[in-house]
Every structure is written in C-alpha cells, then in structure tokens.
C-alpha cells in the first residue's frame, strides 16, 4: 500500500490524522511484544546528552521538536538527545537496544525501518505507531528492538531516537581503534566513524589535525611538495599568496548543438557540460575524453578531442543517432566518471555514478568508457552526490549530499567501488563555514531590487576531489543564493562558484583564508557562465606548464517554456587555466626571505627540483642536518642561484653534490628567496619526474602519474 501526502491533507487535519492511523494499523502485522531482558549498556562517543523520556522534552540537539506522546512503558526511561541527522553508539554490555523511527508509509518520512529490519531489529507492539511530536504523519513512529552483543558499534542515519538503555560513560579498553600510517607520515583512523566529530564546531572552520600535530619526520617520496599549507613549513619569513584561475577567451569550448543536447525530444532545457561528469586524458589513446550531461535532466553522453578544445561527438549504439553511453532512465541529475589509476589491464578502467529520479544513485563500471555494466544501486542519498578515488589510501570515497549543516556533505569510503554501495560507514563531513563570503544580496541578478534584504548564508552545494601530485585537491562548490524558489520565479540560475581546498589524508581539508572564488560566475545577464558553476570529477588536467580546469557554467534563459526551466537553461563547458602547481606561492620582495621545512626524508632520487618564478631575483637552497647546521657542500653559498621562471628546474651546488648520500635520513631544506615566488619542490632522478599524481592526466603522460 502506498500513501501520498495529498491523501491526508484533502480533509481536515484531525480527520487526516485519524485516517492515517487507520491505514497504518491496517498494514500493522508481524510485530512483537517488548523483548524481555536487561537494557544494553551503551557508550556514546559523539556529541549529545542523555535525558529522561518525558512529555515536552527536547528530542534533538539541532531541532526544536518536543515529545508529544509515548507508550507508558517508555516514559521515564533514559534517552539520547543527539542530532536528527545521525547518531552512533557502542554497546559496552550485552542487552536490548530500543529505537524509535518514523513509519515508512508516510510520504517524506526519514524512516530507518528498512535498515533496522535488515539488521535484525523487530517491530514492537504497544500504541504503535504513535505521534512522537507535532501533527505531521511523517513524524509518527514505530518502536524497534534487538538484543545486541557487547563490542558492537551501531550507526543510524536520519532519523532515530534511542531510548531505554543504561549509559556506560567509560568504555576504555573495550574497543581498539585501528590506525594506518599514510605515505606522508600522517596517522589516520581507518574507520571514518573513529575520526573527529565534524558536527561540534559551530560555524568555525573544521579542524585539520595533521596541521596541528604534523609527523616528526615527513616522507616526501611521492609527488611535488606543494606549499598550500604549513604542513611542510617549520618557519618562514615568506608570504603565502593565493592565485586564481584565468578563464580562456574562446570559452565555451563545448555548448549545446545536437538534438540531444538541445532537448528536442525530451523538452528539457539545453545543456552540454559535465555537471561533475568527468574530463580525463587517456594517455594510451592520446585523447581528451569527456562524459557529460547532454540536455538538462536527460542524456549521459561521451565526446573526445585531440586538443581539448574542439570536441567530437561519436554516434554510439546505445541510442542510434546520439552519443549516449547508457539508456535514459528516470530524470537524470548529476553524475561522476572516474578514471581508475590502479585498475590494471584486466580490471574496469572507468567507474561511474549516475544519480536520477526516482531510483537515486547507481554505480557502473567500464573497460573502455563506452560499454557499461549493469547498474548497482547506491544507498539512498541526496541528488547532488558524487564519488572520487583516493589513490594514496586505495579507497573509493562517496561524497554524499546531506542536510546536517544546511547544504553539506557526508562521507563514506570503501576499498571496493561496488562493495561500498551500502554506505555503511557514512559520517558528517564537510560544510561551509564563517569565513565563506555571503552573497552581496539575494538578488544578485537584479542588483537594484530590495538592496536592504539580508545576505544569503553560504552553503556547500557540491564537492569533487582528485589526487594531484602529493595531496588531494578538492573543489568546494559554494552556494551564495538565491534559493530555488526565487530562481524559478525569476528564471535565473543559482549562484554557485568554485573554491579550492587541500587534503593530505583525503578526509580533513584545509581551505585558503581568501574565500573569493577560484573560478567565479560571470554574474551578468548574457555571459555564458553567468552562474551555477560546477567542477568536473577530474577537476583539472596537466597541459604543459598549465593546469586546465574544465567547468560547467549556466547562462540561464530565455528558453521556450516557463521561467522555472530558465534557471537550468543553456549550460556549456569552459576552461580556466592556472600555472602548474600554481595554487599558492611563497613570495619574497626585494628584501630576501627564508623558508625552512620540517624534517623530511626520501628513499630515492638524487636531485632537488623546484617550481619557481625568479627572473628578476634569485633562489638558493641549503640542506640542514639533524642539529640544524648547514651540511658541507650543501650551503646556501655553495648553491648556484636560480634566476628563472620555470615549473621544473634543478637546484645545483658548486661541488656537484647530489642528494644520494642523504637518502633515508632526516634533513631540513632551507630556501633563500629574493624578489620571486616558490611554488613547490621535490626530489627526483635526472628526469625531474615527481612520481606524483596528475589529476585528470594530460598530453605527454601515458598514465595519471608523473613517471
């Protein structure tokens, strides 16, 4: 039996509630009496507080809902007041766990019934269901119970209330938290649920533990070492300067031209852009490849290019006469396509998520990016969810749209792309913070309208990430408004712009204090990327001395139809460029400055390379021993000064000293800079190849690594 909201609200509120309870009771079968036995002893490792389950008590930390009704046998029992979005507990002593969750029959109910029954919980009788709070049918709940063994960890999504337990304040020694040491010396808990609770920091920027407590010695074997944070920096008199991407003058490089992209058959607005999707360089075929949204809410299509600017749409077999790669199914929203750097010759090279209504997320695999496997259903998520791969830890990460902090993200990971489809270890993860700039006004498209209206609070609309050199590069799509209802009424695209962040473990992210957009919207009527900008899954490609950021921009209407569709009309793809490694530089003026690294180590390579811009200045480098003394032969005076602007240049010392004799021992590098900018450094052989990751790859590289 299917219940829809309109079935309950066509009559008076009282009558609709009565009808609802009658209908629910009509399908109420197979339930149990309350289980006999002791309540479980539970330990809470996250925010929240324990209270007494009684009338008018506040039920959630992040909502104002208060208890309205309850079975008598639950009144007066302990309950846990925590976030409505997520709750977690450890069973320290075997016993019965009792939870309340909305009935699944009501439309819009955030019910955990399916997950509970799958886990072996049973539906308990006794005034069941009952209206926990308010008067909305979707807040009518069932009671579930299960006897749980000690040592079990339970995690619930939106929403449950835990009641009738005995709290165990200290579970020391009961649970051992597995950890792993990463390629750069960072120690990270293996399970996301063991990491810092991201919901307890208010509006402040989220913590980055490895910046507060870096490793004593930092291995630098993998990739160029970027200076985007202070992870590698022990001390400096240089100034960090952030750089922005520059849009190409010939943008957009792809715009709607085919019937599929123009929505001739579907009736949807025109679109030819990734919307996450993916733009990658296939080094074996020497082709730029894009998987993109062809027609808004319509096709998932493929195109290729020799130069990354002019694109060819091949006719494929899926839908004759088009370049679709999978059949149309439901209303297609976002997607993400990942080229797997660790796939191997006998494994699918490409992975894809497609999110559409009503089925939600589905995962696919492909060897060639054209013929795709049958889909594997993803656990329920929000519509702008994506995926990425963290090759440093060999895990697939599911970036899940959530509402735990306005528009925000949850995180789940798995070493198996398809095996993680259940999202069992999802946790609250990323959000906007108090440093993000609010929109100047809600009506960015109409600056003269209501100038005194309150600014829109920013939120995190989407998040994509990719491995670049020695770290993970992240694209934070920050929304500044207006919201959907205004945009639909006025026929203008939402204002989202692309910002960057950086992570050395793939979970904790640092962001620049400069919160102006890395790639901003045009904001003016008539510009192809007026607003609603989105990154692609590969973020950028390495093209010579530049990084090419392919991004989606929306011009908006007019489009034949109604204004609500204009907000999603005329989406195209463009390119913004940046110097290689050019996210941030450490700068000095005419007065020389110094940067000293923390102790670093390397096991291979004999030459030091830098990415530096000093044509009117100079850079010298010295190597320091354990006591901080400059090593003989590696002093600043012995270093041949560099006065060049190059993204890859070798540092040399007069006596021909190289770094082989310093392998496997901790050293510090001290950079003396005058009138110039330092972007990165790394140790390599004579070729200068870093062994790091190349985001989406690029011409001249056979794989996604610089090797």
Residue 537: Cβ within 10 Å count: 31
Residues 292 and 403 in one domain: yes
Instruction: Give phi and psi for 241, each to the nearest 5.
Output: -125, 130
Residues 367 and 458 in one domain: yes
pLDDT over 70 at 26, yes or no: no
pLDDT digits (tens, 9 = 90+) for 618-632: 999 999 998 899 999
Residue 424 lies in a domain: yes
Q: What is the pLDDT confidence band of residue 444, given thresholds at 50, 70 and 90?
A: low
Residue with tokens 């100038």: 451
pLDDT digits (tens, 9 = 90+) for 490-540: 888 999 999 999 999 999 999 999 999 999 999 999 999 999 999 999 999
Instruction: Give phi and psi for 282, each to the nearest 5.
Output: -90, 105
Q: What's the confidence (pLDDT) of residue 12?
A: 41
pLDDT digits (tens, 9 = 90+) for 239-295: 999 999 999 999 999 999 999 999 999 889 999 999 999 999 999 999 999 999 999
d(CA 240, CA 588): 9
Domain-terminating residue out of 579, 602, 621: 579
Residues 550 and 677 in one domain: no
Residue with tokens 């007026």: 530
Q: What's the confidence (pLDDT) of residue 451?
A: 45
Check if the beta carbon of residue 132 is closer than 8 Å to that of residue 68. Answer: yes
Q: What is the pLDDT confidence band of residue 238, given thresholds at 50, 70 and 90?
A: very high
pLDDT over 80 at 18, yes or no: no
User: What stretch of H or E contains 608?
Assistant: strand 607-613
Residue 19 lies in a domain: yes
Domain-terminating residue out of 148, 167, 186: 167
pLDDT over 80 at 606, yes or no: yes
Residue 530: Cβ within 10 Å count: 22
Residues 571 and 595 in one domain: no
Residues 392 and 415 in one domain: yes
Check if the beta carbon of residue 327 is closer than 8 Å to that of residue 371. Answer: no
pLDDT digits (tens, 9 = 90+) for 632-677: 999 999 999 999 999 999 999 998 889 999 999 999 999 999 999 9
What would the mean pLDDT of 79-94 be, rounded to a whole number?
89
Residues 256 and 225 in one domain: no
Q: What's the confidence (pLDDT) of residue 21?
A: 46
Check if the beta carbon of residue 690 is closer than 8 Å to that of residue 328. Answer: no
Residues 57 and 116 in one domain: yes
pLDDT over 80 at 318, yes or no: yes
Check if the beta carbon of residue 313 is closer than 8 Å to that of residue 301. Answer: yes
pLDDT over 60 at 210, yes or no: yes
User: What stretch of H or E contains 115?
Assistant: helix 113-118
Report the CATH number that the domain containing residue 559 is assigned in CATH. 2.115.10.20
Q: What's the confidence (pLDDT) of residue 45?
A: 77
Q: What is the pLDDT confidence band of residue 22, given thresholds at 50, 70 and 90?
A: very low
First to last CA, the chain: 59
Q: What's the confidence (pLDDT) of residue 655?
A: 87
pLDDT over 60 at 23, yes or no: no
Domain-terminating residue out of 103, 134, 167: 167
pLDDT over 50 at 17, yes or no: no
Residues 506 and 636 in one domain: no
DSSP 8: H
pLDDT digits (tens, 9 = 90+) for 152-178: 888 888 899 999 999 998 877 777 889
d(CA 152, CA 89): 9
Bridge partners (DSSP) listed for residue 58 = 66
What's the mean pLDDT when you consider all of the chain? 91
Check if the beta carbon of residue 574 is closer than 8 Å to that of residue 311. Answer: no
Residue 183 lies in a domain: no
Q: What's the confidence (pLDDT) of residue 445?
A: 52
Residue 473 lies in a domain: yes
Please give the share of the chain, as a percent, with pLDDT higher than 90: 77
CA triplet 531, 520, 694: central angle to 5 degrees? 115
pLDDT digits (tens, 9 = 90+) for 463-504: 999 999 999 999 999 998 777 888 888 888 999 999 999 999
User: What stretch of H or E contains 534?
Assistant: strand 531-543
Report the CATH number that the domain containing residue 690 is assigned in CATH. 2.60.120
Q: Which long-range contacts (CB under 8 A, 24 or more apart) does 303-312 make?
A: 303/254, 308/253, 308/281, 308/541, 308/543, 308/548, 308/575, 309/250, 309/253, 309/575, 310/253, 311/253, 311/254
List the single range of 236-240, 376-380, 691-695 with lowest mean pLDDT. Answer: 376-380
pLDDT over 60 at 446, yes or no: no
Residues 253 and 394 in one domain: yes
d(CA 408, CA 413): 17
Residues 505 and 528 in one domain: yes
Q: What's the confidence (pLDDT) of residue 5?
A: 28
pLDDT digits (tens, 9 = 90+) for 548-600: 999 999 999 888 776 778 889 999 999 999 999 999 999 999 999 999 999 99
Residues 141 and 124 in one domain: yes
Q: What's the confidence (pLDDT) of residue 385?
A: 96
Residues 570 and 453 in one domain: yes
pLDDT over 90 at 449, yes or no: no
d(CA 82, CA 198): 14
pLDDT digits (tens, 9 = 90+) for 115-126: 899 889 999 975
Closest CA relative to residue 157, chosen from 105, 114, 94: 114
Residue 601 lies in a domain: yes
Whether the CA torsion 16, 20, 26, 27 is positive or negative: it is: positive
Please give the share of the chain, as a percent, with pLDDT higher than 70: 93
Q: What is the pLDDT confidence band of residue 455, given thresholds at 50, 70 and 90?
A: low
pLDDT over 90 at 199, yes or no: no
Check if the beta carbon of residue 402 is closer than 8 Å to that of residue 518. Answer: no
Q: Which domain holds residue 37?
A: 5-167
Residue 177 lies in a domain: no
What is the 3-state secondary structure of 196-230? Answer: CCCCCCCCCCCCCHHHHCCCCCEECCCCCEECCCC
pLDDT over 50 at 680, yes or no: yes
> Can you list the positions of beta strands (E) in 323-407?
331-339, 350-357, 360-366, 376-377, 386-390, 395-402
Residue 664 lies in a domain: yes
Q: How many domains does the chain have?
A: 3
Residue 186 lies in a domain: no
Q: Torsion angle, CA of 420/422/428/432, rounded to 10 degrees?
A: 80
pLDDT over 50 at 16, yes or no: no
d(CA 536, CA 388): 11
């Amino acid at each position: 039996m299917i219940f829809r909201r309109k079935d309950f609200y066509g009559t008076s509120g009282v009558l609709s509630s009565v009808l609802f309870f009658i209908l629910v009771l009509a399908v109420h079968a197979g339930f149990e009496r309350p289980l006999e036995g002791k309540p479980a002893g539970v330990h809470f490792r996250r925010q929240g507080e324990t209270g007494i389950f009684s009338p008018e008590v506040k039920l959630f930390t992040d909502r104002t809902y208060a208890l309205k009704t309850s079975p008598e046998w639950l009144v007066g029992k302990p309950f846990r007041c925590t976030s409505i979005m997520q709750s977690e507990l450890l069973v320290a002593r075997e016993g019965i766990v009792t939870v309340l969750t909305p009935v699944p029959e009501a439309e819009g109910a955030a019910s955990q019934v399916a997950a509970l029954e799958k886990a072996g919980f049973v539906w308990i009788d006794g005034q069941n269901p009952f209206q926990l709070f308010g008067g909305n049918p979707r807040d009518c709940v069932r009671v579930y119970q299960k006897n749980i063994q000690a040592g079990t960890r339970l995690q619930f999504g939106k929403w449950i209330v835990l009641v009738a337990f005995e709290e165990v304040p200290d579970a020391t020694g009961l649970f051992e938290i597995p950890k792993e040491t990463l390629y750069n010396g960072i120690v990270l808990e293996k399970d996301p649920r063991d990491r810092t609770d991201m919901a307890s920091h208010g509006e402040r920027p989220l913590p980055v533990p490895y910046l507060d407590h870096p490793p004593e010695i930092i291995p630098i074997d993998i990739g160029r070492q970027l200076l985007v944070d202070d992870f590698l920096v022990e001390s400096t008199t240089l100034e960090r300067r952030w750089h922005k991407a520059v849009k190409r003058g010939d943008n957009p490089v792809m715009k709607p031209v085919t019937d599929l992209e123009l929505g001739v058959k579907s009736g949807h607005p025109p679109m030819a852009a990734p919307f996450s999707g993916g733009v990658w360089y296939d080094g074996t075929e020497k082709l730029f490849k894009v998987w993109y949204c062809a027609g808004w809410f319509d096709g998932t299509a493929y195109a290729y290019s020799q130069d990354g600017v002019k694109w060819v749409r091949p006719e494929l077999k899926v839908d004759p006469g088009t370049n679709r790669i999978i059949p149309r199914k439901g209303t297609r929203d976002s997607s993400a396509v990942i080229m797997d750097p660790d796939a191997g010759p006998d494994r699918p090279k490409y992975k894809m998520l497609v999110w559409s209504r009503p089925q939600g997320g589905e995962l696919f695999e492909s060897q060639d990016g054209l013929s795709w496997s049958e889909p594997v259903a993803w656990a329920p998520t929000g519509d702008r969810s994506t995926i990425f791969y963290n090759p440093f830890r060999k895990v697939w990460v599911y970036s899940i749209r959530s509402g735990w902090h306005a528009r925000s993200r949850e995180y789940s990971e798995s070493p198996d792309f398809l095996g993680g489809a259940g999202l069992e270890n999802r946790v609250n993860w990323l959000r906007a913070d108090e440093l993000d700039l609010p929109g100047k006004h809600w009506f960015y498209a109409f600056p003269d309208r209501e100038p005194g209206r309150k600014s829109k609070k920013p939120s995190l609309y989407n998040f994509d990430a990719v491995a670049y050199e020695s770290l993970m590069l992240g694209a934070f799509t920050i929304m500044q408004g207006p919201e959907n209802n205004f945009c639909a009424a006025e026929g203008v695209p939402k204002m989202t712009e692309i910002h960057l962040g950086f992570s050395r473990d793939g979970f904790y992210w640092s962001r620049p204090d400069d919160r102006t957009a890395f790639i901003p919207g045009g904001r003016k009527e008539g510009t192809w990327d007026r607003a609603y900008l989105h990154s692609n899954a590969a973020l950028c490609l390495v093209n010579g001395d530049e990084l090419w950021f392919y991004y989606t921009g929306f011009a908006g209407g007019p489009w034949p139809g109604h204004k609500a569709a204009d907000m999603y009309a005329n989406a195209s793809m463009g390119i913004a460029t940046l110097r290689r490694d050019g996210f941030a530089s450490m700068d000095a003026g005419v007065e020389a400055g110094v940067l000293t690294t923390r102790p670093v180590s390397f096991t291979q390579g004999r030459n030091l390379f830098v990415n530096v811009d000093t044509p009117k200045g100079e850079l010298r480098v010295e190597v320091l021993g354990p006591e901080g003394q400059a090593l003989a032969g590696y002093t600043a005076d012995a270093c041949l000064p560099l006065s060049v602007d190059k993204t890859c240049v070798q540092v040399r010392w007069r006596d021909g000293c190289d770094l082989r004799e310093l392998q496997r021992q901790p050293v510090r590098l001290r950079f003396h800079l005058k009138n110039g900018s330092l972007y990165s450094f790394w140790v390599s052989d004579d070729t200068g190849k870093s062994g790091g990751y190349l985001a989406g790859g690029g011409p001249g590289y056979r794989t996604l690594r610089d090797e």
